[in-house]
Structure 1
Amino acid sequence: MGKSCIIFFERKFPSANMVLIKDMLPILIDTGFGSDAEETVHLIKEAGVLPEELHLIVNTHYHSDHVGGNFHLQNNYGVKIAAHKWDAHLINACNHEACSAEWLDQPVEPYHVDLKLSDNDEIHTGSRTFQVLHTPGHTLGHISLYEPEEEIFICGDLFHRNDIGWLNIFREGVSSIQRSLESVDRVSKLRIKQAYSGHGPQIDDPLNSIDTARNRLEKWLKSPDKVSWHACKRIFAFTLIMKNGLAKEEIDNYLLTCGWFQDFARYAFQLQPEEFIQVLLDEMIRSGAANWYNNHLIATAPYVAAQNKWMDRNIKPKDWKTT
């Protein structure tokens, strides 16, 4: 296959970024959203790797924007999948809580984890060895990958260039902030020249991004409501991206069916869900996360709309045993 190289794919929502380690044993880190599976295959082919040549898929964590292409690659090309052992247990048991898909209302097609990873495991690509670092916070089973020779760090949603992954206090625990801080502090001790994040551009100044993440998490410790606002806006914006916007008359009924919305309204903001609808809509507009267009609420982040026929299937882990 020639000299080893790292190829970073910065992708628009609803897909997360991907990293392809092009080596004797090619590794793909994360696979994007399910509706973009064909595009995922196209991207790695353009990079010079056939999907059936992939030695392994490694998932940084189990959210739909990172694992959505797993089904297509595993079913059609027999690619093996690796993930943290805690994620693997929920996935392989078809647990209803897997991927937080039910709570988030994010469709994910079924897949099986073949290799269960733990902290300090190693992944060999032929000429490179990546260390698996358990970096919980965004999810309990979140991992990052570190290659010490060239000082490369693949961080998933632990941190981004100027942001951090949203924290799910209802599914990952109220100490998610502390866990994230511990993960960021651990990573800050590594020598890192180049970092690749799950969203946004590659990170050319990793230490600055780590400091920015730490400062934000420390502020959140003092003002926990900021954690909830950050999460609500990210989750709802992703919903608007998946659905290519929501008509004004659909929004109330839709939000009231969502587990995440019910939990944040009642327990984070001490409001009845019906009261929280307008509060959230006002904040989405005020913060610039969404805008009204032709009586539809549309996310402002750049995205590629998922096909309606794919979204209409609405597959969740509770359906996996029958698909």
Structure 2
Amino acid sequence: MGKSSIVFFERKFPSANMVLIKDELPILIDTGFGSDKEQTEQLIREAGVLPEELHLVVNTHYHSDHVGGNFYLQKKYGVKIAAHKWDADLINLGDTEACSAEWLDQPVEPYRVDRKLSDNDEIHTGNRTLKVLHTPGHTLGHISLYEPEERILICGDLFHKNDIGWLNIFREGIASIHQSIESLDRLATLRIEQAYSGHGPQIDDPLSSIDSARNRFDKWVKSPDKVSWHACKRIFAFTLIMKNGLAKEEINHYLLQCGWFQDFARYSFQLQPEEFIPILLDEMIRSGAASWHNNHLVALTPYKAPEKEWVNKNIKPKDWKPQDFLV
């Protein structure tokens, strides 16, 4: 293999990790949360690649923490964006379901997908070839990327070193559990020596992490309520990170306006949303996902809070305008 290297950026929430393929045609996989777009550019530059030299940005899936830097790179430098064709169609239509931004109340600045990817497509960087693997579960359009020569896997949020991505059963369907299992079974057939996921450290024993993830999904099949609890805690913790905590008096009003909270309360736990609020708060505290500080509920995972002004922009795909895509 010629002169080429892979640079892994492990990032704090709310941003997702990134992977930079330094080669004749540099590729960036995922771009972090929108409020960190300047840091995203800085990381690329410090790794020795100018943003305008990027041949392509590839998104593993369209959640806000993975695509937030797309707008900046596409608008300022004309960088092309690639994603699975199912994600691409929703994005390019400005569909209200795109990025789950409306449902999750997460801002995403407008971008367009230039290259629609399908299972088994290949992405060439000069000295490397990345194989696109459609690995649905976390989202329907989720992909992983496999580099066979060095046996490297980039797996997005399908699985992490010691965890798995939450499942959105109301947008991806209850079959997302079985889709995740099938995706993991497919990856388990590959020869993988190193893996990089969307959150957490690099994975030095990928097959062990895949086995652990599969065992957890198997338990979820038998106890579907675990899926809902995992998702609720992850989504609410992400909100607490974005907003750098919520004051006690703000929590009820905020939760009652959220689509995810309404859906999980009514359909997963068969409770009125008002009844579910104290139950969720108790579980957030019990599980160690959050704690009270000066009458504010704050997330306990390490994070870097976005500027309040950025979070309050309230940018959602339904409001994207055609002129937003001009470069």
The TM-score normalised by the length of structure 1 is 0.99
Query: Does structure 1 residue 318 correspond to structure 2 residue 318?
Result: yes
Task: Give the Cα separation in 1 of the matches to 2:55 and 2:291.
Answer: 43
Task: Give the Cα separation in 2 of the matches to 1:207 and 1:136.
Answer: 18
Identity of counterpart residues, as a percentage? 81
- Which residue of structure 2 lines up, in the alignment, with residue 275 of structure 1? 275
Task: Tell me which amino acid in the other structure corresponds to 2:265.
Answer: A
Query: Does structure 1 residue 145 correspond to structure 2 residue 122?
Result: no
How much has 1:174 moved relative to structure 2? 0.9
How much has 1:129 moved relative to structure 2? 0.2
Task: Give the Cα separation in 2 of the matches to 1:85 and 1:219.
Answer: 31
Task: Tell me which amino acid in the other structure corresponds to 1:215.
Answer: N
Task: Give the Cα separation in 1 of the matches to 2:214 and 2:85.
Answer: 26
How much has 1:308 moved relative to structure 2? 1.2
Task: Give the Cα separation in 1 of the matches to 2:241 and 2:164.
Answer: 19
Where 2:202 maps in the other structure, the secondary structure is coil
How much has 1:309 moved relative to structure 2? 1.4
How much has 1:233 moved relative to structure 2? 0.3
- Which residue of structure 1 lines up, in the alignment, with residue 33 of structure 2? 33
Where 2:265 maps in the other structure, the secondary structure is helix
Measured against aligned partners, the alpha-carbon deviations of 1:71-120 in whole angstroms (never above 9, x if no partner) come to 00000000000000000000000001100000000000000000000000
Task: Tell me which amino acid in the other structure corresponds to 1:78.
Answer: G
Where 1:275 maps in the other structure, the secondary structure is helix
1:14-163 → structure 2 map (5 Å cutoff):
14-163=14-163
Task: Give the Cα separation in 2 of the matches to 1:84 and 1:298.
Answer: 34
Task: Give the Cα separation in 2 of the matches to 1:201 and 1:162.
Answer: 9
Where 1:72 maps in the other structure, the secondary structure is helix
Task: Give the Cα separation in 2 of the matches to 1:110 and 1:260.
Answer: 22
- Which residue of structure 2 lines up, in the alignment, with residue 178 of structure 1? 178
Task: Give the Cα separation in 2 of the matches to 1:320 and 1:302.
Answer: 32
Figure out how many residues of one structure are paired with residues of the other and give that number. 322
Task: Give the Cα separation in 2 of the matches to 1:265 and 1:145.
Answer: 35
Query: Does structure 1 residue 207 correspond to structure 2 residue 207?
Result: yes
Task: Give the Cα separation in 2 of the matches to 1:309 and 1:53.
Answer: 31
Measured against aligned partners, the alpha-carbon deviations of 1:116-163 in whole angstroms (never above 9, x if no partner) come to 000000000000000000000000000000011110000000100011
| Structure 2 gap segments, 5+ residues each | none
Measured against aligned partners, the alpha-carbon deviations of 1:238-278 in whole angstroms (never above 9, x if no partner) come to 00000000000000000000000000000000000000000
Q: 305-314 vs 12-21, which deviates more?
A: 305-314
Where 1:232 maps in the other structure, the secondary structure is helix
Provide the aligned C-alpha RMSD in A: 0.7
How much has 1:314 moved relative to structure 2? 1.1
Task: Give the Cα separation in 2 of the matches to 1:274 and 1:161.
Answer: 36
Task: Give the Cα separation in 1 of the matches to 2:271 and 2:308.
Answer: 33
1:249-264 → structure 2 map (5 Å cutoff):
249-264=249-264
Measured against aligned partners, the alpha-carbon deviations of 1:3-23 in whole angstroms (never above 9, x if no partner) come to 200000000000000000000
Task: Give the Cα separation in 2 of the matches to 1:54 and 1:96.
Answer: 29
Task: Give the Cα separation in 2 of the matches to 1:88 and 1:215.
Answer: 31
Runs of 4+ in 1 over 2 A off after TM superposition: none
Task: Tell me which amino acid in the other structure corresponds to 1:312.
Answer: N
1:230-269 → structure 2 map (5 Å cutoff):
230-269=230-269
How much has 1:321 moved relative to structure 2? 1.7
Task: Tell me which amino acid in the other structure corresponds to 1:75.
Answer: K
Measured against aligned partners, the alpha-carbon deviations of 1:253-306 in whole angstroms (never above 9, x if no partner) come to 000000000000000000000000000000000000001000000000111110
Task: Tell me which amino acid in the other structure corresponds to 2:91.
Answer: I
Where 1:21 maps in the other structure, the secondary structure is strand
Task: Give the Cα separation in 2 of the matches to 1:34 and 1:46.
Answer: 19
Task: Tell me which amino acid in the other structure corresponds to 1:148.
Answer: P
The TM-score normalised by the length of structure 2 is 0.98
Query: Does structure 1 residue 301 correspond to structure 2 residue 301?
Result: yes
